Chains A and B, each alone.
Chain A
Amino acid sequence: MLVCKGLTKRYGKNPNALESIDFSIPSKGIFALIGRNGAGKTTLARILATELIPSSGSASIDGMDVVADATRLREQIAILPQEARAIPWLTSKQSIVSYLLYRGFSLGESEERAQSALARLDLQDYENKLTRILSGGLKRKVLVATILAADSRIVFVDEPTTGLDPISRADLWKVLEELKKEHFVFLTTHYLEEAEKLADVIGILDSGKLLGLGSLAELRKQAGYQYSIRTQQEDVKTKEGIAIRGLDGSVQILTTEEEAGRLAEKLVKDKARFSINPTSLEDIFYYLVKKPIEEENYEEE
């Protein structure tokens, strides 16, 4: 089990990097922590990976406290930090071998494991190539292979697909899906579709606070709205649910199953164009962090 009790982290300039995080989840499968930039995802991952000491509260993984039992825990964890980069003067194999030596493997075993991990990610052709000449996607894959080769039971991957093209991202998703069969993967991401596709349990973090936790179905239940309706009709009103008006004039309504049926009937009657879908993680995320989708997009543009 991964258990956090009142976990809080304060930095000088950021007094509420994490605010009293409480949750408990099984330490298996993929746990995806989603949130905007600066939400506290990396801070939480780094505390659990024994890199940061919490200001207060506690956290443990499989009964091992991240502070008191850090040495024992480190035998079982591996982390791929968000800003990790492949060291350019090393070949792909040398990168993996050196990391495995840090983990305490012998040179012979490190070389065997490195070759096997490279093969698993179809990187054999790049085994003896310096990482500086590899593409961004391949460099990232080498780092993932490094973590994979360690075969640690608990793996932290902090925004591993940021900056990857769609094909490389899909490749990495396959690896993570494979990895979760035998490992506990703690994944942080701001790609909601990534969490939706991969995670068994999802946590939503915003401004250091955990706003939601559970499977997608459980989050839908927590939000209280199971369906999302989008329409261009401006005067549509809901008795039960929330409506978000976008800058493009469209209206999104998050609502219950019954109310969705009623609204759909009305929209059909009005001959309005609309779409109706089960509430997505994106809908829940924006609902919980109180940011309408279009408003957020507008800010980013």
Chain B
Amino acid sequence: MKKSSQVYASVLVNALYVMKNYPVTLVNTLLAPLSILVVIVLVSKGSLLAVSVEGALIMTMVSAGIGLQGDLSHLKNDFRLQDMVVSSPTSAFVYMIGMAFSEIVYSAPALMILIVLAMLYVHTSIVGVAVTLAVLAMIFTFSIALGFLLSTFSSDIVQNWAFFGLLSTILTTIPPIYYPITYIPLPFRYIAYLSPTTYAAEIAQNAIGYLQLPASSLAIDWIVIIAVTMALFVMAMRKSKWRE
């Protein structure tokens, strides 16, 4: 009961109260994943619709981590919320989980539309759906852990923007989320593999039959995404600057 209250506090502060008091944010949350989706679908004349919908889902999960980093830094540096929470019975883990949920709630309008689009245009098996959900959960956990870790080190808005740029580049610009990695010329393809999102995108694209990856490549993708997620989660718990 107590922990659920603490999780709910973050959902209220960082999502529900924001959406209630500033309804314009509901529109904003829709724009990021859907705008790129529309562009890719138009340019590809609809051929990349299914992969783009899945890409938009991944983008929404990754954006949650980027958003979390910004939101937490803002709440910590400008309002000292983290100081007040540290001195309360809420632990770093519960605070992170609460904020993670808040990002999901905040993204709910976009997620609902994307899920409807996925049901209409992405044709896959039950296993494919399960794999996609698993990889979405994994990339969400990864981005949340990274966002939380960085936010605890951010001390002002300038650092916050620097972290934002870093995360955006690593997680959304480099990786081929909305299209297959084969669209990237070979020398640059290796750069894409620097981002964990690339591995998640490959798994998801394979799950819907857009890519036909050999089992070994798929296994490597899973190993990388699981290892990176676990490592970041442990780092977020142990190395984040919660109590200085």
Interface residues, chain A, with chain B CB atoms under 8 Å away: 46, 49-53, 70-71, 74-75, 77-81, 83-87, 89-91, 94, 97-99, 101-107, 110, 130, 156
Find out whether the CB atom of B86 lies under 8 angstroms from the CB atom of A102: no
Residues of B within 8 A of A49 (CB): 87
Find out whether the CB atom of A102 lies under 8 angstroms from the CB atom of B9: yes
CB neighbors of A among B106-161 (8 A):
none
A54 and B112 alpha carbons, distance in the complex (Å): 48
A103 and B86 alpha carbons, distance in the complex (Å): 10
- Known contacts A84-B83, A90-B21; 19 additional CB pairs below 8 A are A51-B243, A51-B244, A70-B243, A74-B87, A74-B88, A78-B84, A79-B87, A81-B84, A84-B80, A89-B18, A89-B22, A91-B21, A98-B12, A98-B13, A104-B2, A104-B6, A105-B5, A107-B8, A156-B87
Find out whether the CB atom of A50 lies under 8 angstroms from the CB atom of B80: no
How many whole Å from B170's CB to the nearest CB in chain A? 28
With A79-B83, A84-B83, A90-B17 known to touch, is A102 a contact of B244 (CB < 8 Å)?
A: no
Find out whether the CB atom of B87 lies under 8 angstroms from the CB atom of A50: yes
Residues of A within 8 A of B2 (CB): 104
Interface SS of chain B: helix, strand, loop or mixed? Answer: helix
A86 and B22 alpha carbons, distance in the complex (Å): 16
Contact check: which of A77, A106, A130, A156 meets B1 at CB < 8 Å? Answer: A106
Find out whether the CB atom of A97 lies under 8 angstroms from the CB atom of B87: no
A141 and B78 alpha carbons, distance in the complex (Å): 18
A41 and B84 alpha carbons, distance in the complex (Å): 17
Contact check: which of A52, A91, A98, A104 meets B89 at CB < 8 Å? Answer: A104
Residues of A within 8 A of B9 (CB): 98-99, 101-102
CB neighbors of A among B38-83 (8 A):
75, 78-81, 83
Closest to B9 in A: A101
Residues of B within 8 A of A79 (CB): 83-84, 87
Residues of B within 8 A of A70 (CB): 243
Find out whether the CB atom of A102 lies under 8 angstroms from the CB atom of B80: no
With A50-B87, A51-B86, A74-B87 known to touch, is A101 a contact of B17 (CB < 8 Å)?
A: no
Name 27 A/B residue pairs within 8 A (Cβ), A-sorted.
A50-B86, A51-B87, A52-B243, A53-B243, A71-B89, A74-B88, A77-B87, A79-B84, A80-B84, A81-B80, A84-B80, A85-B80, A86-B79, A87-B13, A87-B75, A87-B79, A90-B13, A90-B17, A90-B21, A94-B12, A94-B21, A98-B13, A99-B9, A102-B5, A104-B6, A105-B5, A107-B5
A74 and B9 alpha carbons, distance in the complex (Å): 17
A248 and B86 alpha carbons, distance in the complex (Å): 48
A94 and B78 alpha carbons, distance in the complex (Å): 18
With A50-B243, A87-B75, A89-B18 known to touch, is A101 a contact of B5 (CB < 8 Å)?
A: yes
A51 and B76 alpha carbons, distance in the complex (Å): 13
Residues of A within 8 A of B5 (CB): 101-102, 104-107, 110
Q: Does B168 contact A (CB under 8 A)?
A: no
Q: Does B85 contact A (CB under 8 A)?
A: yes
A131 and B189 alpha carbons, distance in the complex (Å): 49
A108 and B75 alpha carbons, distance in the complex (Å): 25
How many whole Å from B124's CB to the nearest CB in chain A? 39
With A89-B21, A107-B5 known to touch, is A102 a contact of B79 (CB < 8 Å)?
A: no
Residues of A within 8 A of B29 (CB): none
Residues of A within 8 A of B8 (CB): 101, 107
Q: Does B90 contact A (CB under 8 A)?
A: yes
Instruction: Pick the most buried of B5, B8, B90: most chain A CB atoms within 10 A of its CB.
Output: B5
